[in-house]
């Protein structure tokens, strides 16, 4: 059965690839991002069942507008994918107040707003799913130059788990899922605050299509916690099995 799926950060990268994959299989997609021209190009590629909504999801009013627009166009929302985010390249000893503020605003508040603003709609319907796109760095703080980003993703992981526990007690039909990719072949590195290495140059990186396929699978399975690589969970277990992780 086709679903109505909201995707933030949908103008490029993982979000765009996911939108096109879901549209091809017959789902309706609501695409949210700041960059209007890029967003509309993705919407055209997705076809007539795509709704582009230019929005900054670090602004709560904009997130509320995305919710309203989706319901006005399609009548309801089945799945909300919090995919928007940004990296940073700065060693932990050099992190500034502004760096932390930016990482929390972009990577944490956008996720919190999405969960909080779509939740009343899901509660009214008695069903729904939020999928938060985290990172392997949200599990293993193993890249010092990404320290502030890693910390933000750890907060996303905690919020996801705690939303799931709270909401499940009264609305068991609502699921909060977490997806943890590793390095993905996108502009993430190029667009990181303070610049950074191109993510495409890292070994063992995944394509956006590979990651999008995993996220689509989470929509189908409603699994709570998924890694985009089969060995992801074992990597985390091995990391913390060390007496001094990350050393």
| CATH (domain of 65) | 3.40.50.720
Give 66-91 pLDDT, tens digit per residue: 999 999 999 999 999 999 999 999 99
- Cβ(75)–Cβ(2) below 8 Å: no
Has residue 246 been placed in a domain? Answer: no
The position carrying tokens 């879901």 is 22
- Cβ(134)–Cβ(153) below 8 Å: yes
Residue spans of alpha helices (H) in 169-206: 188-191
Per-residue pLDDT for 246 more than 80? no
Has residue 247 been placed in a domain? Answer: no
> Mean of the pLDDT values across residues 111-133?
98
Residues identified as active-site:
149
Identify the band that residue 247 occupies on the pLDDT scale cut at 50, 70 and 90: low
Cα gap 50→23, rounded to integer Å: 8
CA neighbor of 82 nearest in space, from 135, 9, 181: 9
Q: What is the CA radius of gyration of the chain?
A: 17
Q: Is the pTM of this model over 0.85?
A: yes
Has residue 158 been placed in a domain? Answer: yes
Has residue 130 been placed in a domain? Answer: yes
Higher pLDDT, 200 or 139: 139
Provide the residue range defining the domain that includes 96. 4-241
Report the number of distinct structural domains present in the chain.
1
Has residue 53 been placed in a domain? Answer: yes
- Cβ(238)–Cβ(139) below 8 Å: no
> Mean of the pLDDT values across residues 222-242?
94
């Amino acid at each position: 059965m086709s679903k109505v799926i909201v995707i933030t950060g949908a103008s490029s990268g993982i979000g765009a690839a996911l939108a096109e994959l879901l549209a091809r299989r017959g789902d309706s997609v609501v695409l949210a991002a700041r960059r209007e021209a890029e967003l509309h190009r993705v919407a055209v590629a997705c076809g007539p069942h795509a709704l582009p909504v230019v929005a900054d999801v670090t602004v709560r009013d904009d997130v509320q507008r995305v919710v309203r627009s989706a319901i006005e166009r399609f009548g309801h929302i089945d799945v909300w994918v919090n995919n928007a985010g940004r990296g940073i390249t700065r060693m932990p000893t050099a992190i500034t107040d502004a760096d932390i503020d930016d990482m929390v605003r972009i990577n944490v508040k956008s996720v919190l707003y999405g969960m909080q603003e779509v939740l009343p709609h899901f509660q009214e319907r008695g069903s729904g799913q939020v999928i938060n796109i985290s990172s392997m760095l949200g599990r293993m703080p193993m890249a010092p130059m990404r320290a502030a980003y890693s910390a933000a993703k750890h907060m996303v992981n905690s919020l996801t788990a705690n939303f799931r526990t709270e909401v499940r007690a009264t609305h068991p039909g609502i699921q909060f899922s977490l997806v943890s990719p590793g390095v993905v072949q996108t502009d993430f590195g190029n667009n990181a605050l303070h610049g950074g290495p191109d993510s495409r140059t890292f070994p063992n990186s995944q394509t956006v299509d590979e990651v999008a396929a995993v996220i689509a699978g989470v929509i189908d399975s409603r699994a709570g916690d998924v890694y985009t690589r089969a060995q992801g969970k074992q990597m985390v277990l091995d990391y913390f099995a060390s007496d001094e992780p990350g050393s």
